[in-house]
Amino acid sequence: MKKLIFGLIVLAMVLSMTVVGFAADKPKIGVLIYKYDDTYISTVRNAIDKYGADVLDITMQDGKGDQATQNDQVDVFLAKGVDALVVNMVDAAAAQGVVDKAKDADIPVVFFNREPAADVLKSYEKAVFIGTNAADAGIMQGELIAKIWGDGSVYDLNKDGVIQYLMFQGEPDNPEAIARTEYSVSKAKELGLDMELANEIIVCNWDTACAQSSMEALINKGANVELVIANNDGMAEGVINALVADGNNTGEEDAQVIPVVGVDATDAAIELITKGKMAATVKQDGDAMGKAIVDIVLNVATGKAPLDGTEYEFDDSGVAVRIPYAPFDIESVEK
Ligand code: CA
């Protein structure tokens, strides 16, 4: 019996040393986030932690929406000797600076979400990008709008056969925002809808409070609005707050509904769709994005090819992986 107990103790010690030894060998990954205060990015962060905790030694930093701060964080990570960087650029146009620093240190860098130019990525053989196909989100919004609008009998308030719509845009120079703005409307037109912008494009930098105050101002002006398109759910939520305060989109049976379409499928948006306050969104799969980041950064941090042993494929650029979008409306909730 004593021998058995002694044996078990030794076994436990060996096992614990093995676990400790393994932990010490986990690749050190520096993760740079453009800002923590972004709903979609939070889902990606959670997924990175979820999938990466057992295989990576992860340290995350909040760039707080400031590129100079993020540049300093890159320097600190490289000085600490991380095995790879994961970078969600504050300003995608500043990516060459990050690439150059990583290249000097010979450290692989995995960009995600905010896309550096292809020539910037190609300037360093250890740089890759994980994103979405920016056009897809807009195209799916256009398809959802056609589905929601139908023959217009419910939503065409002035009965002119034309959709008087508003567009809430993210940053004016952000490629994702530009693509969503363009393709949502072009797809809706392609599907036979007559689209008329009821106000100039409202640039709200993805921000909920900005969208809410802008929408309140338009309601106060008495603008004829029959549909609202937002580049993200954060802004859609702000628009809906203003509409609800005005007695629309309350989720009550007899309330007037102005369909609002967003992108991201955040928890808040799904709740609004469930309550009948929001028409639809396009799911940007933060969980799948986080998993792809972990799989790919684990490869590059251990000297393997980025997609080694994974199901991912590069797009035509040869340096970017695209995580697909999916349309999301009340039918998705009911599934
Ligand atoms: Ca109309």
**Ligand 1 geometric centre to CA of 177 (Å):** 25
**Ligand 1 geometric centre to CA of 247 (Å):** 20
In a domain, 335, yes or no: no
**Ligand 1 geometric centre to CA of 249 (Å):** 18
**Ligand 1 geometric centre to CA of 193 (Å):** 11
Q: How many domains in the chain?
A: 2
**Ligand 1 geometric centre to CA of 145 (Å):** 14
pLDDT at 120: 98
The count of other CB atoms within 10 Å of the CB of residue 297 is 29
pLDDT at 20: 46
**Ligand 1 geometric centre to CA of 188 (Å):** 15
More confident residue, 87 or 13: 87
**Ligand 1 geometric centre to CA of 330 (Å):** 24
Residues 313 and 208 in one domain: no
Residues 173 and 303 in one domain: no
Residues 264 and 292 in one domain: no
Task: Determine the average pLDDT of the residues in 188-197.
Answer: 98
In a domain, 332, yes or no: no
What are residue 85's phi and psi, to 5 degrees? -110, 145
Decide which of 284, 302, 317 is a domain's last residue: 284
Q: What is the DSSP string of 298-324?
A: HHHHTTS-TTTTSS--B-TTSSEEEPP
**Ligand 1 geometric centre to CA of 155 (Å):** 8
Domain residues for 271? 135-284
**Ligand 1 geometric centre to CA of 180 (Å):** 22
**Ligand 1 geometric centre to CA of 14 (Å):** 73
pLDDT at 285: 87
**Ligand 1 geometric centre to CA of 319 (Å):** 44
Residues 152 and 280 in one domain: yes
pLDDT tens, residue by residue, 25-61: 899 999 999 999 888 899 999 999 999 999 999 999 9
**Ligand 1 geometric centre to CA of 225 (Å):** 8
pLDDT at 1 over 90: no
**Ligand 1 geometric centre to CA of 254 (Å):** 20
In a domain, 187, yes or no: yes
Residues 37 and 121 in one domain: yes
In a domain, 204, yes or no: yes
Q: Helix 95-105 and helix 67-80: axis angle, to 10°?
A: 10
- The share of the chain scoring above pLDDT 90, in percent, equals 86
**Chain centroid to CA 120:** 21
Residues 155 and 229 in one domain: yes
pLDDT tens, residue by residue, 78-111: 999 999 999 999 999 999 999 999 999 999 999 9
pLDDT band at 6 (very low <50, low <70, confident <90, very high): low
pLDDT at 9: 59
**Range with the poorest average pLDDT among 18-32, 139-153, 242-256:** 18-32
Structure tokens at 29: 């990954």
Residues 24 and 81 in one domain: yes
In a domain, 278, yes or no: yes
**Range with the poorest average pLDDT among 12-16, 87-91, 227-231, 299-303:** 12-16
**Ligand 1 geometric centre to CA of 328 (Å):** 25
Residues 80 and 174 in one domain: no
pLDDT at 24 over 50: yes
pLDDT at 14 over 60: no
In a domain, 310, yes or no: yes
Residues 269 and 154 in one domain: yes
Residues 293 and 310 in one domain: yes
**Ligand 1 geometric centre to CA of 59 (Å):** 51
Residues 140 and 265 in one domain: yes
**Ligand 1 geometric centre to CA of 147 (Å):** 16
In a domain, 158, yes or no: yes
**Ligand 1 geometric centre to CA of 198 (Å):** 10
pLDDT at 18: 47
In a domain, 108, yes or no: yes
Residues 139 and 261 in one domain: yes
More confident residue, 130 or 43: 130
Beta-carbon contacts of 240 under 8 Å, excluding residues fewer than 6 positions away, are 249, 260, 272, 277, 278
**Ligand 1 geometric centre to CA of 128 (Å):** 45
Find the CATH number of the domain harbouring 159: 3.40.50.2300
Mean pLDDT of the chain: 93
Q: What is the DSSP string of 79-129?
A: HHT-SEEEE--SSGGGHHHHHHHHHHHT--EEEESSPPPHHHHHTSTTEEE
